[in-house]
Amino acid sequence: MAPSFTSPSPPDNSKAALKQLSSYNSHLLRRVSSHKLLSISSTLLFRTAILLTMTLVLLFTLHYPSLLSHSLSLSSPHPTNPHRSLLSSNRLQSLNPLEIRRSATPTRTNGLSILVTGAAGFVGTHCSLALKARGDGVLGLDNFNSYYDPSLKRARQKLLHKNGVVIVEADINDSQLLIKLFQLVHFTHVLHLAAQAGVRYAMKSPQSYIQSNVAGFVSLLEVAAKNADPQPAIVWASSSSVYGLNKVSPFSESHRTDQPASLYAATKKAGEEIAHVYNHIYGLSLTGLRFFTVYGPWGRPDMAYFSFVHDIIEGKPINIFSNAKRDFTYIDDVVKGCIGALDSAKPSTGLPGGSKKTGPAELRVYNLGNTSPVPVTKMVSIIESLLGKKAKKNVVEMPSNGDVPFTHANVSLAKRDFGYHPSTDLGTGLKQFVKWYVDYYKLEVISKKKEKAQEKVASS
């Protein structure tokens, strides 16, 4: 029989185990309590942060209500910029509805109600004055940029104000402000003249041309198509520059315009294509006007005739392009063309909201020129005669910076459709400009003939 072994009884460790278990439970309870306290604290901190954030958002929204809506707007063509949005908010709040409606209300029977963009510009000022004088309602819009001396634009603004035309200071890309203006006034027409001008400046600041001439035009068309009730008929400024490298003369609306010689010309050509799109989709009535070297009183200082007068008076040398010819068009003739285009424009056919149109809408383009190209050298000779002073001339070759050697307008279409007929020759127009220039800048310009006559009187 196998021996029998009896296992020894295990030691009684129950008290020790109970003691360890009690110690573990106590430690566990302390950890659980600590975690609960931490969790509760975190929850409180999180809720406090949320509450503070919501409070700040509420306060921010109350103080700047348009900023949030502007940043969420799908109609804005540019990324959200807080500074731009705050500026837009301030301008919206500063609008005077009564003043705006008064300016935009016609005083004659069946008068037009017109929004003129670029109203403090050269052509914009003259057109606004002429329209207001015949009893149309005119509201101006201008951003008073510093491409050239803003004080000249402010002087034009004062002139317009004296004649009952209000200018809203804002950028054409501010879609929220445009929407507000179209809500305040049921414009029958828009004369869109706001643009970044100049051929050579495009090499220094190309983005400004895209911003103004392309994005700004789209901004206006978007609001006119989708927010205006009714949609206005739009007349806008294109340019003779769209003819670019075209060598067939005189330039006709049927000629090629797909060879621009400058970025400025390209943006104006892009505008004509964009106009086609908004006409086709939304039924906007659109008329493009190709201006040919407009000159006259209150003109732009960056134009050659303006700087020539200044430099000749100052005794500074001037650079003349030897082979350059321009179809110089006097401002009064251009104003008549703009008004003719406005008066003959047919209504838009789109319904409010831009959802559909009732039928095809009018899409036109016209040359507004003088039909008589003049060598720049002859223009300088006329200025010398008017000032009684010889210019210090440097005759140079035209640089390859976007300028074209000549322009020559065929205006038969404008003559046929709204009676456009330029009647001011260069000598007469420059005489009016020099007179304005001397008066505006308070100069004493004495011709040699007058000087000799004065000498004779003094010696007798």
CA distance 249 to 366: 16
- State yes or no: is 243 an active-site residue: no
The helix or strand, by DSSP H or E, that contains position 291, with its residue range, turns out to be strand 286-291
Tell me the DSSP string of 21-49: HHHHHHHHHHHHHHHHHHHHHHHHHHHHH
Q: Which of 201, 209, 264, 330 is catalytic?
A: 264
- Interior/surface letters 247-256, b for 16+ CB within 10 angstroms, e for the rest: eebbbbbeee
Q: Give phi and psi for 141, each to the nearest 5.
A: -140, 130
CA distance 405 to 402: 10
Bridging pattern class, strands 294-295 and 329-330: parallel
Please choose, from the candidates 379, 371, 380, the residue with its C-alpha nearest in 3D space to the C-alpha of residue 407: 371
Please choose, from the candidates 224, 205, 338, the residue with its C-alpha nearest in 3D space to the C-alpha of residue 267: 205
Please report how many Cα atoms fall inside a 13 Å half-sphere around the Cα of residue 405, on the Cβ side. Answer: 9
Phi-psi region of 298 (alpha: psi -120 to 50; beta: other; left: phi over 0): left
Catalytic residue positions, numbered: 264
